[in-house]
Copies of this chain bind each other. A is one copy, B any other.
Amino acid sequence: MRKSRHDTAGTRERIVQAAATQFRQHGIAATGLADLMGAAGMTHGGFYKHFVSKEQVIQEAAAYALAERGHAFEAYAQAQPPGTELAALVRAYLSMDHYNNPGAGCLMAALGSEMARASEATRALASAQFLAFVGLIERFLGPQHDHDRHGRAMAMASALVGALTLARVAPDPALARQILDSARTHILASWA
Contacts and interface: CB of A to CB of B under 8 A. Distances in A.
A26 to B, nearest CB: 7
Q: How many copies does the complex hold?
A: 2
A163 B179 CA distance: 16
Contact of A154 (B102, B115, B183): B183
Contact of A114 (B27, B151, B156, B183): B27
Contacts of A113: 27, 109-114, 165, 168
Interface residues of A, number: 55
Contacts of A182: 148, 150-152, 154-155, 158
Interface of A: 26-27, 29-30, 102, 108-118, 120, 123-124, 126-127, 130-131, 148, 150-152, 154-163, 165-166, 168-172, 175, 178-179, 181-183, 185-187, 190-191
Given A127-B171, A151-B186, A159-B163, 19 more contacts: A29-B30, A102-B116, A116-B169, A118-B169, A120-B171, A123-B170, A124-B172, A126-B169, A127-B170, A127-B175, A148-B182, A151-B185, A154-B182, A154-B183, A157-B162, A158-B183, A159-B159, A162-B162, A186-B191
